[in-house]
Amino acid sequence: MTSITILIPCYNEAKGIPALAAALNAELPKIEKDLDVDLSLLFVDDGSKDNTVDVLKATDFDIPTRLIVLSRNFGKEAALSAGLDAHWSDAVIMMDADLQHPIALIPDMIRKWREGYDVVYAFKSSRDQEGLATRLLSKAFYRLVNYGSRTELPKNAGDYRLLDRRVVEAIGKLPEAQRFMKGLYAWVGFRQIGIPMTVAERATGRTSFSPIRLLGLAVDGLTSFSIAPIRIMSIAGLLIATLSFLYMAWIILQRLFFEAPFNGFASLAVLIAFFGGTTVLGLGVVGEYVAKALLEAKRRPIYVVADEIELSDG
């Protein structure tokens, strides 16, 4: 029988675990019966500061369930990597613990996988419920990360997706520690298809991804997977140098042929501030890449496992 692991990373999800367990217990046995698959759950606790681990231990699950506890908070990308490294099934479905990823899409993912697709990802059919800053940041991010890239990231697609075992094994062979998983899903290739989804409201609590944190994640993703920022700064530098040369030539012509007085202290101050700002920005962009290279050179592990627990044998 086909085996599929449902991988769920958790960080401070203690309040939402009961609702999540109730939804999974209500839906997954039906999916097993209807599609003749063998499902299992794999939770990865990413160093939660609340009692997520204790709540998971006290919760009953109707299908085989395991828990991996990381030694501290390494981030969602590391938690997903830990889960992918620990699975033994024919495919993996990754979903969030806050019930925003509809469980009802799992049968559609499995059917598409059986049609021959190696990656089935869910993408947001609409982002109207999100704030303006989040929407603008998302649009700018996808434009930049796909600029000049051979591997295009599908827009509005997150981590809710099914991966065939071949895809998981390919991702596991990639050596980088500073991982941008959405980029890796696209980079390894294979046959991929998207299905639309409507994101539900969080079952409990509030998201920890503020616009500022999303901006930080976007910068990490860009510098981990794209050279677009460096290329844009190079083009901007060439453009600024060209305009500066033309402006200098115009000033010389004015002085030589029109005897125009040079009294543009304000414009000179603005130009100096502008060039100084762009220089610092360029150094910051280069610094992001140098920092990434330094972290990769240290060859530290992506995550550290503190404990592995069998929660239920089904």
pLDDT tens profile 262-290: 556 556 666 676 667 677 777 777 777 77
Instruction: Tell me whether strands 2-10 and 119-124 are parallel, antiparallel or unpaired.
Output: unpaired
Q: Which of 4, 100, 85, 102 is nearest to 44 (CA)?
A: 85
**Which DSSP state fits 314?**
-
Q: Is the pLDDT of residue 311 over 70?
A: yes
Q: How far is it, in rounded angstroms, from Cα 232 to Cα 312?
A: 52
Model confidence over 213-265: pLDDT tens digits?
A: 656 666 666 666 666 666 667 677 767 767 767 766 766 676 666 665 555 65
Q: What is the pLDDT of residues 199-224, one digit of tens each?
A: 766 555 555 555 566 566 666 666 66
Name the DSSP class of 204: S
What does the block give as tokens for 297?
Answer: 């050179």
pLDDT tens-digit profile of 66-82? 999 998 888 888 889 88
If we measure between CA atoms, which residue out of 138, 265, 259, 129 comes closest to residue 200? Answer: 129
Nearest to 292 by CA among 235, 233, 222: 222
CB 67 within 8 A of CB 309: yes
- Distance CA(211)–CA(220), nearest Å, equals 14
If pLDDT is split at 50, 70 and 90, which confidence band does 33 have? confident
The pair of structure tokens assigned to 165 is: 């075992």
Three-state secondary structure readout of 68-91: EEECCCCCHHHHHHHHHHHCCCCE
Question: Burial, 30: exposed, middle or buried (Cβ in 10 Å; 0-12, 13-18, 19+)?
Answer: exposed
* Nearest-angstrom CA–CA distance, 123 and 159: 9
Q: How many CA atoms lie within 13 A of 275 on its CB side?
A: 12
CB contact burial 72-85 (16+ within 10 A = b; e otherwise): eebbbbbbbbbbbe
Q: Are the beta carbons of 32 and 273 closer than 8 angstroms?
A: no
Q: Quick one: pLDDT at residue 216?
A: 62
Read off the pLDDT of residues 79-101 as tens digits, 9 standing for 90 and up: 898 899 887 888 999 998 888 88
Residues 6+ apart with CB under 8 A from 236: 278, 282
Compute the Cα dihedral for 143, 144, 147, 153 and give only its sign: negative
